[in-house]
Chain A
Amino acid sequence: MSVELISANHAAALSAILAARANRTARGFCAGVYPITPSTECMEYLCSQEIEKGNVIRADSEHNAMGICIGASAAGARSFTTTCSNGLAYMVENCVAAAGYRLPIVMSVANRTLGPPWNIWADHGDSLLLRDLGWLQLYSADNQEVFDTVLCAFKLAEDPRVLMPALCCMDGFILSHTMSQVDVPSQEQVDRFLPPVDIPQRLDKTAHTLGQMEAPHASVMHRIQHHQAMLGAEQLYAEIQDSFAEIFGRRPADPLVTYRAEDAETLIVSMGTLGVTAERVVDQLREQGQAVGAVRVRMFRPMPDTGLSKIFAGKQRIAVLDRDVSIGFGGVLWGEVRGFADPATIVQNYMVGVAGGDVRPEHMLNLLVDLQQRRESGAPQIVEVA
């Protein structure tokens, strides 16, 4: 174990490289990569490393970067890539395919606004495009979490009971380009945590066809299997946390990270780095005697529904903060979680930090003033933050 001062992009890449090497005794590692701000440094780091029994292929587009990962994974290798924003949008067709073949490809996303108009700043709208495709989705709030999440994502995605691709999201620039200390385990530790991957459907000797046509009854059966496997992933994640803690001596973050939430009357719900700011706001308000707590949704797919229902139970007010807008609807996170609250709870949606607005504690404090005055839930609000 060593401590490195690195950006979250490099943390994700380093984690992927350790995972890559851990598969050297099996079928190796192969990635297709393509640059886009602010994910570029992750792919550059991958391209700078020698990986034993590994090959990082410099693709001509994100669509083909994912195509290469699909081929590699279908041939039984461990696979990883990184992109965001329009790169992710361009890749979507092959993201659908990767999920359809049930291949455990891991992807790091430095969340960025979709354009044009071009905007390179953080917004979750890009990874949320993949919401319904059958990808696991995990959102991190600091560099250590990014590192740990990539390792856990491989373990979760490759579990024979799961077998599906996984997205590891970090806020663009806010995390991707911020240096901080990261505990980096040794290769030997990673080898123990992440055994060689076995992809049972891989193209081997048997003449079978992956991704061929199917009739509705076969497709619906595959959807049911995929859905069930995804639902089971939350439980398996707990096992992975245990094994991680045993080998690395620290426990990776939970699917739902709560902060002073138990006795809170008011909750702030968010994803990514907004959750860190929310915790500071909670501290400030607690000092003033207000019973406020926070919940960070780290695991967005599968959605930890029972966990959220338990945390939401009995709360008076809930502010759901979205760093995204589903145009014509409201916040995506709000749409997903509002149903888990008691009918009597006031659940108010604030879309804040959309398109990269720099959300500071005072913005959240203002939202909470608004929330406390409400007698009932109102329409979702887009809050302008420069």
Chain B
Amino acid sequence: MIKEPALNGMAYTEQDRRDPLLRPGNSNCGGCGMSNLMQMLRRATGERELKMVVPACCAAVTSGSFPESVFGIPTIMSTFASAASVATGVAAVAQLNAERTRVICLAGDGGTYDIGMGTLSAAAERNEDILYLCYDNEIYGNTGGQRSSATPAGAATTSTPRGKQEIKKDIIGIMAAHRIPYAASISLAHSDDTLRKLQFALDARGFRFLHVLSPCPTGWKSEPAMGIELVRLAVRSGLFPVFEVFDGERYVINVEPEFSNEALMMYLSLQRRFRNTGVTEEILRPSIERYWNYLRLMSGRIVPAKRN
């Protein structure tokens, strides 16, 4: 098995599901993180039976138009706010019929942090048997790149042209507060960790939530080939913590960052969405530190943050 992503993607191996989940002919932009996620999911899934719910988002467009579909599994496109409730119905009927099929939601940050938040919260509270994947490109990509509550402070969007002021919601914290069996963040630059989490979450029961930082060259105004590298920089700088939470209680940090200022500087300078908004490493540092203090408290891992 090839462990490192090659050429910003993954080589096909015998472990992969025979049919891709996202077939050629999809309309994702080049370098879209959601495409990488679907490749990883293909390998993680193997020959498991899946059913998918996709709300309005880029993934709803990429599927292509009737009657062809690029998704290699039975899929239903839900209304924007309804992924987790539609999946609730699908999963409940699978359970009634003692089927082994796994029900997944593939939703953007808008359908998760914003309009679908109530739906998501309700399904998590009921502990429905769903794997919810949020690919977070930190904007409403489908409608041309407006802010969402996942947009980070300092990023320019078409609805916050001078840069968003507010910091993004702590989505894993929100999901952990529902005490669901599993909530984790995924780095597309750490394929072993990603595959392990996807496989664990596919097989676990109850509500599982995975948060994926999903490079969006179109919205981030970055080089398509740099996507995975940007995720790596976000992880190295401490900006995107990679961790998992079991039952809302047990926090485990999976990747220890270097908290490198250089990485943070590179992360900001390689994306034009951060240009001209006045955001700098110094401005971001305190909130990164605050969040990591919280994570250390929750995880009991008191290794001091390394500073360069």
Enumerate chain A interface residues (CB-CB to B < 8 A).
27-28, 30, 32, 53-55, 57-61, 63-65, 67-77, 79, 93-94, 96-97, 101, 203-215, 218
List B residues 25-71 near A (Cβ within 8 Å).
51, 53, 60-61, 63-67, 69, 71
Binds A, one of B85-93, B205-213, B228-236, B299-307: B85-93
Quick check: is B19 within 8 A (CB to CB) of the other chain? yes
Q: Is the CB of B93 within 8 A of A27?
A: yes
In the assembled complex, the Cα of A54 lies from the Cα of B97 at a distance in Å of 10
- For the complex of A and B, the 6 pairs showing the least CB-CB separation, nearest first, are A71-B89, A67-B85, A60-B122, A72-B89, A75-B93, A64-B85
Enumerate chain B interface residues (CB-CB to A < 8 A).
19, 51, 53, 60-61, 63-67, 69, 71-79, 81-82, 84-97, 118-119, 121-122, 125-126
Contact residues in B for A96 (Cβ distance below 8 Å): 79
Contact of A203 among B51, B72, B78, B121 (CB under 8 A): B51
Contact of B93 among A59, A77, A208, A218 (CB under 8 A): A77
In the assembled complex, the Cα of A210 lies from the Cα of B67 at a distance in Å of 10
Distance of B20 from chain A, by nearest CB (Å)? 10
Could you jot down 16 A-B contacts, CB within 8 Å?
A: A27-B97, A60-B119, A60-B122, A64-B84, A64-B119, A67-B82, A74-B86, A75-B89, A75-B93, A75-B94, A77-B96, A207-B71, A207-B75, A209-B69, A210-B75, A213-B64
Contact residues in B for A101 (Cβ distance below 8 Å): 76
Distance of A94 from chain B, by nearest CB (Å)? 6
In the assembled complex, the Cα of A97 lies from the Cα of B60 at a distance in Å of 14
Distance of A318 from chain B, by nearest CB (Å)? 41
Q: Is the CB of B78 within 8 A of A68?
A: no
Contact residues in B for A30 (Cβ distance below 8 Å): 89, 92-93, 96
Q: Is the CB of A75 within 8 A of B90?
A: yes
Contact residues in B for A213 (Cβ distance below 8 Å): 60-61, 63-66, 77
Of B65, B75, B92, most A-chain CB atoms within 10 Å: B92
Q: Is the CB of B96 within 8 A of A54?
A: yes
Q: A70-B76, A70-B82 are in contact. List 10 more A-B contacts (CB 8 A).
A: A30-B89, A32-B85, A32-B88, A57-B89, A60-B125, A67-B119, A75-B94, A204-B74, A209-B63, A212-B75
Distance of A124 from chain B, by nearest CB (Å)? 25
In the assembled complex, the Cα of A193 lies from the Cα of B199 at a distance in Å of 45
Residue in B closest to A209 when the chains form the complex, CB atoms = B69
Q: Is the CB of A212 within 8 A of B65?
A: yes
Q: Is the CB of A203 within 8 A of B89?
A: no
Distance of A92 from chain B, by nearest CB (Å)? 10
Q: Is the CB of A209 within 8 A of B89?
A: no
Q: Is the CB of B78 within 8 A of A211?
A: yes
Contact (A70, B89) CB under 8 Å given A64-B119, A213-B63, A218-B66? yes
Residue in B closest to A93 when the chains form the complex, CB atoms = B79
Residue in B closest to A213 when the chains form the complex, CB atoms = B65
Contact residues in B for A60 (Cβ distance below 8 Å): 118-119, 121-122, 125
In the assembled complex, the Cα of A70 lies from the Cα of B88 at a distance in Å of 10
Contact residues in A for B88 (Cβ distance below 8 Å): 32, 57, 64, 67-68, 71
Q: Is the CB of B89 within 8 A of A69?
A: yes
Q: Is the CB of B76 within 8 A of A67?
A: no
Contact residues in B for A209 (Cβ distance below 8 Å): 63, 66, 69, 71, 74-77
Of B67, B90, B94, most A-chain CB atoms within 10 Å: B90
Q: Is the CB of A68 within 8 A of B89?
A: yes
Q: Is the CB of B78 within 8 A of A97?
A: yes
Contact (A57, B76) CB under 8 Å given A63-B81, A67-B119, A207-B71? no
Of B76, B87, B88, most A-chain CB atoms within 10 Å: B76
